[in-house]
Amino acid sequence: MSVSEISPADLRILKQLQSSGRMTNQELAEKVGMAASPCWRRMKHLEDSGVITGYQANIDRKKIGLGLLAFIRVKIDSHSEEDAQSFEQEVGALPSVIACYAIAGDADFLLQVVAKDLDSFSSFAMEVVRRLPGIKEMQTSFVLREVKPLDVLPLEGI
């Protein structure tokens, strides 16, 4: 599904699901001003086409003991496709890495990492991340306060 195929009704559905993914189809249909059956068909189409990739609960990381949030900028030695894929596979298997991005600029990858505290982060960074294949350099930035954490995607103007 391309951006041009997303209708205003689809956008209303997506906006409602981003704010509350637990509502019933009937509740969703009422909120977006549709009958239940067409609403369900549109939602199913959004799922089948990959626009909706899943449903999950938003969890307060601090309340479950993950008080530290950091970003690690990583440079790798080699920029071959094979080495980059190897690095990506290794990082993908690390539960403490909650997001990883291949980036342009003075680093190759940006890792978003959670940890219990500074000591556990230090162990993870030095014993796990530092030993990943092809690491040339890494630089960490610690989050002092989340000003605007990822919550919902902007759907206006699409």
Confidence of residue 3 (pLDDT cuts 50, 70, 90): low
Cα separation, 129 vs 126, whole angstroms: 6
Residue 61: pLDDT over 90: yes
SS3 content of the chain, % helix, strand, coil (to 5): 40, 20, 40
- Sheet containing 135-142: which strands, arranged edge to edge? 97-102, 109-115, 68-76, 135-142
Structure letter (DSSP) for residue 152: -
Q: What is the pLDDT of residues 11-56, one digit of tens each?
A: 999 999 998 989 999 999 999 999 999 999 999 999 999 999 999 8
Confidence of residue 93 (pLDDT cuts 50, 70, 90): very high
Cα separation, 67 vs 30, whole angstroms: 39
Angle at 140 between CA 125 and CA 127, to 5 degrees: 10
Confidence of residue 1 (pLDDT cuts 50, 70, 90): low
